[in-house]
Amino acid sequence: MTRAIFNFKNIHYILEPLILIGAILLINYNFFGSDIGFLSVSFHPFWLIILFIVPRQKYPFGIITSVITASCYLSISWLRSDSSFITFISDSANMKLTALFIIIGYYLSLMRESYDYELSLQLQKNSTLERQLNDIKEINLGMNEEDRKNALKIFETSTTIKTVYNAASSLASFDEDELITALCDLVQKFCGSKAFVLYKIVEGTKMIIAAERVDESLKESYDFVANVNDDAIIAESFAGAKIYTMLDIIDKNMKHVIKSDVKISCPIKFKDSNEIYGFIVLYDLEFSRMNLETINIIELIASWTESALVKSRQMNEVKSKNIEDDLILAYKYDYFKKRMSEEYKRAQRYNFDLSTLIVKMTNYETLAPERQPEILRLLSIFLKTIVRDVDIVSKFKDENLLSCLLPSTDEKGVLILIKRINAALPAFLKNAALASDSIKLDYNYKVLFHKK
């Protein structure tokens, strides 16, 4: 460390105050010989050395300069006195100005240190902004107004778009699972992306991966998200309910550094209600494909998907009649086992929580046999009003047991759900004109998979 500080390049930091001190003493000797050291003046020239040299010197040379200056002043003061050195330094009046030189020099050095630190941070920010501006210039070169007009002309006459139109129009005949697969096929075929994900909103701003097409070589390159607000571009797409690209975010946030792996985020909605189903998110896209034609292709695919989602939801409702228990209006146990296996594999693959909640009616056996199906049906209806749309309420093995399959739910989420059930049950029984003790519940839950 010593070698790094005291080297030939830094020697001038020591020589500067010594030279200035020598010049001051020489002028003093020639013109004010009766007052060697300017000890009789109120403003000592040694102040100039500290006030002008210390703030522009790097640490630790600012402090060293103040010590040198204070030492020279102390030496001159002592030589002009008639007392011994020990007696001289023992007098606080003789040491006040010396100590003040050192203290002022120390704080000026700290100010310089703080200035250097703030300057380095500002230089880093400027460097980041320069890189961002270079990226913007590169994008603008590839996406100027003339290029946009040309891309629009290509879109209007392109046989590729006609092919997309014909392919996307067939999406209306698929159910949800087939729809998602077909959508991924279209995006992969017509956009040329090697890494894209179809996210599905499960509650509020929480999301799960409904499908993904990511090359093995790119699987570790991107951080997939579990919440809308985890990514700036997806958050903007959600807030505006429209397609957003990397270019839109850069234009909007030129003064801020935005960290996002997303190139394009396109929301998918239910056509009849405009409720957002999820997002088509492209993580990989060639720069040459970041144009209006690609955006229109994605919007066209999303538009047909939005129409198909309404029909797929209707198809799911029809399908559910075949897998629901007609007596209690909950899914059959066989369907529950099938969905639990599917959701467990999905939780493992995409790393989200998965839990089950068993709801037992403890007073089931005490009910009159003719009332048991009715009460169990009411309990099933009640639970379906409490849980989310993505949760599955089904009959369990025994007649007095109902099970809830809860994707993206950890132990804390299950306990919150139990509190909600207990809080809402009295009002439900009152509205159903039932006694408050008609349904007594007990719970048993298990976290099948915990997010790592």
The secondary structure of residue 362, as a DSSP letter, is T
159: pLDDT strictly greater than 60: no
Q: Are 32 and 38 in contact (CB under 8 A)?
A: yes
The β-bridge partners of 269 are 276
Between 288 and 4, name the one with better pLDDT.
288
pLDDT reported for residue 187: 84
Confidence band for 149, pLDDT divided at 50, 70 and 90: low
- Range of 2-16, 209-223, 341-355 with top mean pLDDT: 341-355
pLDDT reported for residue 182: 79
Confidence band for 147, pLDDT divided at 50, 70 and 90: low
pLDDT reported for residue 2: 46
Confidence band for 103, pLDDT divided at 50, 70 and 90: confident
pLDDT by residue (tens digit) across 2-28?
445 556 667 777 777 777 777 777 776
pLDDT reported for residue 420: 92
The β-bridge partners of 148 are none
Q: What is the mean pLDDT of residues 238-262?
A: 72
Q: What is the mean pLDDT of residues 44-71?
A: 75
Query: DSSP labels for 207-240?
Result: EEEEEEEE-GGGTTT----SBGGGSHHHHHHHHH
Peptide bond into 60 cis (omega under 30): yes
pLDDT reported for residue 289: 79
pTM: 0.44
Q: What is the mean pLDDT of residues 116-124?
A: 82
CB atoms within 10 A of CB 156: 10
Alpha helices in 280-437 (DSSP H): 292-323, 333-350, 372-386, 411-431
391: pLDDT strictly greater than 80: yes
- Domains of the chain in sequence order: 2-121 (no CATH), 145-319 (3.30.450.40), 326-449 (3.30.70.270)
Between 325 and 391, name the one with better pLDDT.
391
pLDDT reported for residue 331: 85
The secondary structure of residue 42, as a DSSP letter, is S
pLDDT by residue (tens digit) across 309-328?
777 676 666 555 567 777 77
Q: What is the mean pLDDT of residues 284-307?
A: 81
Cα–Cα distance measured from residue 242 to residue 26, given in angstroms and rounded to the nearest whole number: 78
Mean pLDDT across the chain: 78
Q: What is the mean pLDDT of residues 410-430?
A: 91
Q: 444: which residues sit within 8 A by CB, 6+ positions away?
A: 357, 358, 360
Q: What is the mean pLDDT of residues 157-176?
A: 56
pLDDT reported for residue 145: 59
Contacts of residues 29-33 at CB distance under 8 Å and 24 or more positions apart, as own/partner, are: none
pLDDT reported for residue 37: 65
390: pLDDT strictly greater than 80: yes
Cα–Cα distance measured from residue 418 to residue 421, given in angstroms and rounded to the nearest whole number: 5
Between 13 and 154, name the one with better pLDDT.
13
